[in-house]
Chains A and B, each alone.
Chain A
Amino acid sequence: MSYDAKFRVWRGDASGGELRDFTVQVNEGEVVLDIIHRLQATQAGDLAVRWNCKAGKCGSCSAEINGRPRLMCLTRMSTFAEDEVVTVTPMRTFPVIRDLVTDVSYNYAKAAQIPAFTPQARDDDGNHRMAQIDVERSQEFRKCIECFLCQDTCHVIRDHEENKKVFAGPRFLIRLAELDMHPLDTVDRREAAQDVFGLGYCNITKCCTEVCPEGIHLTDNGIIPMKERVVDRKYDPLTWLGSKIGRRRTD
């Protein structure tokens, strides 16, 4: 059941690096992360890679496999031909630290800027009441494992480093959408979505949706509705007038 696979793995650091060829044993049922671990244990003890759960739940082992943003733990070796060369490279949108590990601090900086969840008061008996159907909209986005593959594939930041200042990327646009749809939240983040987090930069090519290992419909269910609500508020004269004279709720 075993065979020798050909792997090309990027090795290097911020100052540069190169693809290195390895031949490594593959056994039945293994995933790319198993092969990277075997490389570490047998041929390259200092090969840097992030991983935690190896079950598609923590989103640590993000990389590009044959050029596609993937989780290494969710990429089965059986999806490749035995004579196919498997190329593993670090995520391109983020600066390399070493080998397959990148500096993802940009994401944590954006997360820190998002205005926090602010709940309405509890009912008199101390409970919050919500219908399942209403919590499910936000729950879809709360499935996010923060693997940052959506950020990696988003061309707004993948190809334009300068956009990182003004654009938070799909992960944080759906975080805003999640809060916006949260049945208990009381803060209006629409202006911030547009002005601080760069919602307008997204031109809905849906690349983020395609690479999401959790199957979250980032574009259709999160970003587009958010854009619609921003537009509704900004350009609908009745809403604008209503909000000025306090006769109509702004949401």
Chain B
Amino acid sequence: MELEEHAYDVVVIGAGGAGLRAAIAAHEAGARTAVVCKSLLGKAHTVMAEGGIAAAMGNLYPEDNWRVHFRDTMRGGKMLNHWRMAQLHAQEAPDRVRELEDWGALFDRTDAGLISQRDFGGHRYARLAHVGDRTGLELIRTLQQRTVALGIDVFMECTVTRLLTDDVGIVGAFGYWRESGRFVAWQAPSVVLATGGIGKAYKVTSNSWEYTGDGHSLALQAGASLVNMEFVQFHPTGMVWPPSVRGLLVTESVRGDGGILKNSAGNRFMFDYIPDFFRKETAETEEEADRWYTDKKNNRRPPELLPRDEVARAINSEVKAGRGTDHGGVWLDIASRRSPEYIRKRLPSMYHQFKELADVDITKEAMEIGPTCHYVMGGVEVEPDSQAAKVTGLFAAGEVAGGMHGSNRLGGNSLSDLLVFGRRAGVAAAENARNRAGRVRLADDALTSAARAALAPFEREGGENPYTVQHDLQQTMHDLVGIIRTEAEMKGALERIAELKERVANLSVDGHRQYNPGWHLALDLPHMLLVSECIARAALERQESRGGHTRDDFPTADPEWGKTNLICSRGPGGDVGVRRQPLPQMPSDLAEIFEETA
């Protein structure tokens, strides 16, 4: 077998924000580090993040600090977040933003010349460090340039298909170059998963093609566990028209900067959907909500800025009640509320996106929007301080890791999550590599088996087209495991997923190995199916509604379930099992924060 082999201390899989930050940290800790990514460097899904990086820097509101940020994050996640991750995140985010500035990032400024901070849903104070509405691009370009400046090796357009383990833990990874289809293996005692999310299992999604759940699946197959996979975030505002852009994100900043939601009758409906949990901090009248934009101290927040799960469910309800637009969405209106200059200045990339893709001028017209699959809160179960998974040598950071966001993520907390836990994973991976130096070896039979599995779709004749199977999976998840769920739907989904598994085992692909997207999809599909099964199984098990998981047959949050995590793991026969595990107990000094700031 023709195989290119490399040896590193740390291999990072994924070159989005978390992956690059992890690689920089590992490199700076002295580890020989490689980054492997499916696309060209700088193209990861992080470039699409718009709003900003949540960090309690206090540049606009000196009252803001990590304790308030911690509180907002836990409440946004309906208290199911791992308290320690939420704490570390809130404490370390400001330093991670400052360090980006030292690497060349140019954030928008306040009048005092400091880093500007903008409002987002669920955050008590304006807290998002941003660059217009293209913060993700700024973040990834800065990390990319730092990675290049440090001389870290990057394997671009290279896909990992398997993690390799011995009886202790990780020994490396196996994959192929997309360009040539040739195989490559990395020997390494530490692997950091930073592969992002699972959105491509859904039909309407804001995610790029890379979000096929490979990191979740690779971890599971290597023996790690996944936590709370039932929590999938549907971002309330995706484009719904024209059909070819359905799902593309409309940043939450549109609402933070004054945009409001209206139904087809022209009513500002969010006032009808304020949950008791957030009533104290939400405006009761349109007048109060509108005053808040200029006087945040004496007024409460507009209900448009409730956390994402609340807004997505409200939109869903309006459309279901027959008050939606012709294309099944609602209106997001900033045109009638802000001047064209203001809109173009604060939301340049939204202006551009609607103009170019939908031929809509958002300074003149309302946007037609609806919920879109955006983010998976569930992910690899990790130790909060080190991001270590349950397999020695395996680490996970960013969207592929679970626990940080509980049942619902606040906007802006993703980019800060990438930086805080990317860095921690890189440091811990480097340390693990030092401890296991010289003790890992790639076994020939494991490499041969990985190669054989990767080539199987070429061996089969007359099998199904992978694009058809992907389409059917996306339809299944859209119809049955979407925003609102029931027991019967989850059972139906699991039956269909079982059928899809058989079809995937029988795929065949055209052509040869060189840059063959049909083949690449055939290898991504088993990952998508495994992750979809985890979501459906966990969603069936959790008999309550909380955050990104809403059960029509159990419509309220249940205090007992509020103390329970659901853990997916793989049994010896390869089946996915789900078990309940108690939530870690929050120490009393942190619990006090909820009393003092209530």
Question: A residues within 8 Å of B by Cβ?
Answer: 13, 27-31, 34, 40-42, 44-60, 73-74, 76, 78, 97-99, 101, 103-104, 108, 111-112, 116-117, 119, 122, 126-132, 135, 138-139, 142-146, 179, 182, 184-185, 215
* B93 contacts chain A at the CB level, 8 A cutoff: no
Chain B proximity of A165: nearest CB distance (Å) = 20
CA distance A127 to B519 in the complex (A): 50
A40 touches B145 (CB 8 A): no
CA distance A164 to B43 in the complex (A): 23
**A–B complex contacts, Cβ < 8 Å, 27 sampled:** A27-B244, A29-B241, A41-B471, A45-B518, A52-B44, A53-B47, A53-B48, A55-B357, A56-B357, A57-B134, A57-B137, A58-B47, A73-B357, A74-B357, A101-B515, A103-B179, A108-B156, A119-B102, A122-B102, A126-B98, A129-B114, A131-B109, A135-B109, A139-B131, A142-B137, A146-B43, A179-B104
> Chain A's interface: helix, strand, loop or mixed, by majority?
loop
A51 touches B515 (CB 8 A): no
Chain B, interface residues (CB within 8 Å), range: 35 or more
* B61 contacts chain A at the CB level, 8 A cutoff: no
Interface string of B331-373 (1 = CB under 8 A from A): 0000000000000000001001100111100000000000000
CB neighbors of A among B107-138 (8 A): 107-109, 112-114, 116, 131-132, 134, 137-138
Given A45-B465, A45-B511, A142-B141, is A60 in contact with B43 using a C-beta cutoff of 8 Å? yes
B39 touches A40 (CB 8 A): no
A46 touches B516 (CB 8 A): yes
B109 touches A130 (CB 8 A): yes
Interface string of B491-532 (1 = CB under 8 A from A): 000000000000000000111101111110000000000000
Give which listed residue, B41, B358, B518, contacts A40 with CB less than 8 A: B518
* B3 contacts chain A at the CB level, 8 A cutoff: no
B114 touches A127 (CB 8 A): yes
CA distance A144 to B137 in the complex (A): 9
Chain B proximity of A123: nearest CB distance (Å) = 9
B517 touches A52 (CB 8 A): no
Chain A proximity of B442: nearest CB distance (Å) = 27
CB neighbors of A among B31-56 (8 A): 39-45, 47-48
Closest A residue to B101 using CB positions: A128
Chain B proximity of A40: nearest CB distance (Å) = 6
* Neighbouring A residues of B510 by C-beta, 8 Å: 44-46
CB neighbors of A among B167-224 (8 A): 179, 208-210
A145 touches B47 (CB 8 A): yes
A74 touches B356 (CB 8 A): yes
* B467 contacts chain A at the CB level, 8 A cutoff: yes
Chain A proximity of B70: nearest CB distance (Å) = 21
Given A41-B465, A56-B357, is A99 in contact with B515 using a C-beta cutoff of 8 Å? yes
Closest A residue to B104 using CB positions: A117
* B557 contacts chain A at the CB level, 8 A cutoff: no
B48 touches A58 (CB 8 A): yes
A46 touches B113 (CB 8 A): no
Closest B residue to A28 using CB positions: B242
Given A29-B241, A29-B244, A59-B43, is A52 in contact with B511 using a C-beta cutoff of 8 Å? no
CA distance A50 to B178 in the complex (A): 11
CA distance A76 to B242 in the complex (A): 11
* Neighbouring A residues of B145 by C-beta, 8 Å: 111, 116-117
* Neighbouring A residues of B101 by C-beta, 8 Å: 119, 128, 184
